[in-house]
Chains A and B, each alone.
Chain A
Amino acid sequence: MKETILEVKDVKMHFAMKKTGNPFKPRTYLKAVDGVSLDLRKGETLGLVGESGCGKSTLGRTILQLYHATDGNITFEGTKILDHGVTKKSKKIQKDLQMIFQDPYSSLNPRMTVEEIVAEPLKTYKVLEGQALRRRVQELLEIVGMDPRYILRYPHEFSGGQCQRIGIARALALNPKIIIADEPISALDVSIQAQILNLMEELQESMGLTYIFIAHDLAAVRHISDRIAVMYLGKIVELADAETIVQKPQHPYTQALISAVPIPNPQIEKARKHIVLKGDVPSPINPPSGCAFHTRCFKKEDRCSVDTPRLENVGQEHQVSCFYPAVSKATQIL
């Protein structure tokens, strides 16, 4: 087994809600991430999936310390960067953790040239200067498959895919070890999505990167990820290697997610049984008691609304947070 590069333990990110007028009412919190533990292995890609509002992006940003976590520990290569909710910022570690953003246009400052954008991390850490800096920027653009002569152009002169490549070049500038990709392809055309995924895979191989790949597109996540973590209401409900998640999911929520992925074959698609969940995702301000998923679960028992299940091993490298994990037939076709 590969060595662990990043260890996330019981991380919580609660956002304080606006005070209501009533002074006797206690302050409410939005529990975007509510006790997530996972470990990231060197050189792997960990997919993070779940529906909108389940806390995937918040988890990514909390790891990057863009938010001040409420509680938990994060260890990066043996150094604690989050100790019981206290962030320990260190310039050296900030260099090793970089991020790729969802919206290729709004993630680049429209008033800056490509050169200024890509050079910003290098300038911030005073790595290079002058002509060497420009050479490095051009080199980075080449690495991500862009024409290095475009350095004096502005973001609005590029397509979405090109902008995303610039964003990747910026993330690579400091030779990071971990890149958190926050839905890097969901704003792109399908044909461009594949290009960006392939680019990310190539870069991973040549530079030995570790990815946390956040997305809600299961097909893409399956393609790029070694392991997949499924999140629901701020918690990880299932974590296993990509093939296991897709073919033998044991948590009912994962099964529902997998069964919602269409199969590009009308005959199979027609014969397939879909699991349709009832209702909406409950509010993370006031999550349900017991298992957070019990309000929508098709396998719900009495115990589910009382006790909270924990993430437990059900097989090799396969963790599920459910009292009644079982392989379902509905998903096996995929």
Chain B
Amino acid sequence: MGAAKDMKVEEVASTPVAEDKYIIEGVSLWKDAWKKLRKNKAAMISAYVVVAMTLLCVFGPLLLSKLFGYDFSTQDLAYGSKPPSLAHPFGTDYFGRDLLTRTLVGGSISLMVGFIAATVAAIIGTIFGAVSGFFGGKVDNVMMRFVDVLYALPYLFLVIILVTVIEDVNVGAIFDPINKISEVLMGLKIFEGRLILLFVALGFVGWLTTARIVRGQILSIKQQEFVHAAHSIGVSNINIIFKHLIPNTLGTIIVYFTLTVPSMIMQEAFLSFIGLGIQPPNPSLGSLISEGAKQMQLYWWTLVFPSTFLAILLFCLNFMGDGLRDALDPKERKD
């Protein structure tokens, strides 16, 4: 590879302005990180597992309903609480619903809650933290005290109040396309009232830590000379924040994002476990585990399968986050 490039170098050495086809591509820090990540076996295997589980969660229910003719809420009272068999690999619950389908549908709800809540948290947190860190001084003080106040509010109370006060949220037509797709795939409208409340509650607490982390990063990066250089050129503040500061914190943000997703899934599972999250008959991993825990002495499969599914998912997401951190951490860079 190197030899072929060197040949070209000599060929064009005499031309005054290089032709575009001879331009030598550089290796960006992103490409570098990607190379590093690919070498990290644990992270890559975890990534594949997460992708596989996601695909399974999204398309599995449809496949199962085509094969066996039931969906996650089809009851068969005569066939209730049966152990795993060929027709029902994960067994059935008390109402005779197929536990595999319920686990997969619950998994996709959990994954969606995790990713959407983490994305919202990352976006709000990044912008808030970047603005706070960039302007500094009084602006920073006010913004960060606001974060402190929100931190101090116990989010559990907030969720309880939200859920009890607001009975049903009218979602509006924005989510209609997604709901239509999810109805085809899983037989339920995925964006309904309760879920929105869950996003609000999880997003409410999720962005605070991101904002603090990003602010800290920005405070140190804005002292670097390339930011001074941008100021001296006359680049506008918005461009400095979005072109110079945030791209240089993106590594940290991505790492933090991948670690937020599992924590959000965990929070959702916890809220559903105590009955504040997803409402029956819609399943989520948390509510499935909660039901399973009640009857684990009699019907072990109702607890073991959903919780193993959740454990593997969280385990892989965390491993992925760790791998990304190793790949993106500039301090590890020594070549």
Chain A positions within 8 Å of B, measured between CB atoms, are: 61, 64, 66, 91, 94-95, 97-99, 101-103, 106-114, 120-121, 124-125, 134-135, 138-139, 142, 147-154, 156-157, 167, 170, 174
Contacts and interface: CB of A to CB of B under 8 A. Distances in A.
Given A91-B234, A154-B29, A170 B23 contact: no
B17 A135 contact: yes
Nearest to A156: B29
Interface stretch (B74-82, B97-105, B223-231): B223-231
A98 B235 CA distance: 13
Contacts of B332: none
12 contacts: A66-B232, A102-B225, A107-B224, A109-B244, A109-B247, A113-B26, A124-B236, A149-B18, A149-B22, A152-B25, A156-B29, A170-B229
Nearest to A91: B234
A138 B18 contact: yes
A54 B189 CA distance: 68
Contacts of A139: 17
B232 A99 contact: yes
Given A110-B248, A153-B26, A138 B17 contact: yes
Given A102-B225, A109-B248, A110-B248, A149 B233 contact: no
Given A108-B226, A109-B226, A109-B248, A125 B234 contact: yes
B197 to A, nearest CB: 38
Interface in B217-256: 224-226, 228-236, 239, 243-244, 247-248, 250
Contact of A98 (B9, B16, B232): B232
B109 to A, nearest CB: 36
Contacts of A151: 23
Q: Which of B28, B224, B226 has the most CB of A within 10 A?
A: B226
A99 B229 contact: yes
A115 B327 CA distance: 25
Interface residues of B, number: 33
B67 interface: no
A120 B235 contact: yes
Contacts, number: 99
B234 A95 contact: yes
Given A142-B17, A148-B17, A120 B29 contact: no
A101 to B, nearest CB: 4
B152 interface: no
A96 to B, nearest CB: 11
A149 B24 contact: yes
Interface of B: 9, 12, 16-18, 20, 22-30, 224-226, 228-236, 239, 243-244, 247-248, 250
A142 B28 contact: no
Given A124-B234, A148-B17, 12 more contacts: A61-B228, A101-B225, A102-B225, A107-B224, A107-B229, A109-B243, A110-B248, A111-B28, A111-B29, A120-B233, A152-B23, A156-B29
Contacts of A156: 29
> Which secondary structure dominates chain B's binding surface?
helix
A125 B235 CA distance: 9
Nearest to B231: A66
Contacts of B225: 101-103, 106-107
Contacts of B30: 111
B229 to A, nearest CB: 5
A156 B27 CA distance: 9
Contact of A154 (B23, B27, B228): B27
A41 to B, nearest CB: 22
Q: Which of B224, B225, B229 has the most CB of A within 10 A?
A: B229
The 10 closest A-B pairs by CB, nearest first: A153-B26, A107-B225, A149-B18, A111-B247, A94-B234, A101-B225, A109-B226, A121-B233, A154-B26, A99-B232
Contacts of A102: 225
B143 to A, nearest CB: 19
Q: Which of B26, B27, B248 has the most CB of A within 10 A?
A: B26
B230 A149 contact: no
Contacts of A66: 228, 231-232
Contacts of B12: 149
A11 to B, nearest CB: 17
Nearest to B335: A156
Given A111-B29, A138-B17, A139-B17, A124 B232 contact: no
Contact of A157 (B17, B26, B234, B247): B26
A133 to B, nearest CB: 13
A106 B220 CA distance: 12
Contacts of B230: 109, 120
Q: Which of B20, B24, B28, B234 has the most CB of A within 10 A?
A: B234
Nearest to B26: A153
A154 B26 CA distance: 6
B17 A106 contact: no
A94 B225 CA distance: 18
Contact of A153 (B16, B20, B24, B235): B24
